[in-house]
């Protein structure tokens, strides 16, 4: 147990030395990495900022979880929210050909100029599905043309099925647009199983659309936020929203008061000061 606790120490990298797939220790090391991720998630759920950073590294390296730049970036975003660090520092982990880095160099440009076309060509080489998602939206003139175009949605769905994480983000943007959106909640729920931060997107939309404050709606929003929380991906802002919802439901008698839970959510909301 002492050795396991040492392995799980947060000041160590989530990346371990690789082993051969046929090694007798491979299954054991795989389970250890998965257990470490679960331990980090529980630490993150108490508001431990270093746990969010460690989780980001796990998603970056694919240690105990499937590699994902979206999950990496989101966990690191929460770390930055709590510590005041700059999200741009995530690029220190990435080489020049990393899809996330290339996407962030292409997307801010209003049009595909020479430099961004070169980046797009490189992205197409290292991550064809991501390049496909970018191409699907770069013909736009207005954001509404993305969110309401069935052709663009179809292209994004194809890219997402081929492994594009950017397509998942863009489909979520289509979904949140509201009126005229060609993306349904069920589609975002499916992707949220892989990218838990999307549960927050669905919860936010439901919270915004149901202003009557019914108990049923509030319980559903809290359920969605809780699913993201179960993966250590509840942002400080969403922890605050959950506290407000819990307080209202407790006053209505819909759920039992839980002082420890309210305190835990408050810990997630806290920001560190140097």
Domain that holds residue 44: 2-92
Q: What is the pTM of this model?
A: 0.86
Residue 265's φ and ψ, nearest 5 degrees, are: -60, -35
- The answer to whether residue 271 is domain-embedded is yes
Residue 1: what pLDDT?
A: 33
218: left (phi over 0), alpha (psi -120 to 50) or beta: alpha
Residue 25: what pLDDT?
A: 73
- The answer to whether residue 160 is domain-embedded is no
- The answer to whether residue 123 is domain-embedded is no
Question: Residue 157: which residues within 8 A CB-CB, separation 6 or more?
Answer: 167, 171, 187
Residue 20: what pLDDT?
A: 56
Residue 152: what pLDDT?
A: 84
Residue 174: what pLDDT?
A: 86
- The answer to whether residue 183 is domain-embedded is no
Domain boundary among 77, 92, 107: 92
Residue 34: what pLDDT?
A: 87
- Around 47, how many Cα atoms within 13 Å sit in the side-chain half-sphere? 19
Residue 147: what pLDDT?
A: 55
- Residue 75 CA to residue 57 CA, distance in Å, equals 9
- The answer to whether residue 61 is domain-embedded is yes
Structural domains of the chain, count: 2
- The answer to whether residue 87 is domain-embedded is yes
Domain boundary among 39, 60, 92: 92
CA 45-66-52 angle, 5° bins: 25
Domain boundary among 92, 117, 147: 92
**pLDDT, mean of each 10-residue run, the chain (274 residues):** 30 43 67 90 96 97 95 97 94 92 86 86 96 82 58 91 95 80 90 97 88 84 97 97 96 95 97 76
- The answer to whether residue 159 is domain-embedded is no
Residue 10: what pLDDT?
A: 31
- The answer to whether residue 274 is domain-embedded is yes
């Amino acid at each position: 147990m002492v050795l396991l606790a040492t392995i799980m120490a947060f000041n160590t990298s989530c990346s371990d030395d690789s082993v051969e797939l046929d090694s007798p220790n491979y299954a054991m090391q795989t389970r250890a990495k998965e257990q470490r991720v679960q331990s980090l998630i529980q630490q993150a759920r108490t508001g431990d900022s270093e746990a969010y950073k460690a989780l980001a590294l796990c998603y970056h390296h694919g240690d105990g979880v499937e590699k994902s730049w979206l999950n990496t970036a989101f966990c690191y975003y929460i770390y930055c929210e709590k510590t005041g660090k700059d999200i741009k520092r995530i690029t220190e982990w990435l080489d020049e050909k990393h899809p996330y880095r290339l996407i962030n160099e292409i997307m801010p440009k209003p049009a595909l100029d020479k430099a961004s076309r070169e980046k797009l060509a490189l992205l197409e080489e290292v991550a064809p599905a991501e390049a496909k998602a970018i191409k699907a939206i770069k013909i736009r003139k207005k954001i509404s043309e993305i969110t309401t175009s069935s052709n663009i949605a179809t292209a994004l769905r194809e890219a997402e099925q081929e492994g594009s994480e950017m397509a998942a983000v863009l489909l979520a943007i289509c979904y949140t647009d509201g009126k005229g959106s060609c993306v349904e909640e069920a589609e975002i729920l499916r992707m949220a199983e892989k990218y838990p931060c999307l549960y927050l997107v669905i919860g936010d939309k439901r919270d915004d659309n149901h202003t009557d404050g019914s108990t049923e709606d509030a319980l559903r929003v809290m359920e969605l936020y809780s699913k993201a929380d179960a993966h250590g991906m509840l942002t400080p802002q969403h922890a605050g929203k959950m506290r407000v919802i819990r307080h209202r439901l407790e006053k209505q008698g819909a759920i039992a008061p839980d002082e420890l839970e309210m305190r835990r959510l408050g810990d997630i909301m806290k920001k560190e000061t140097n």
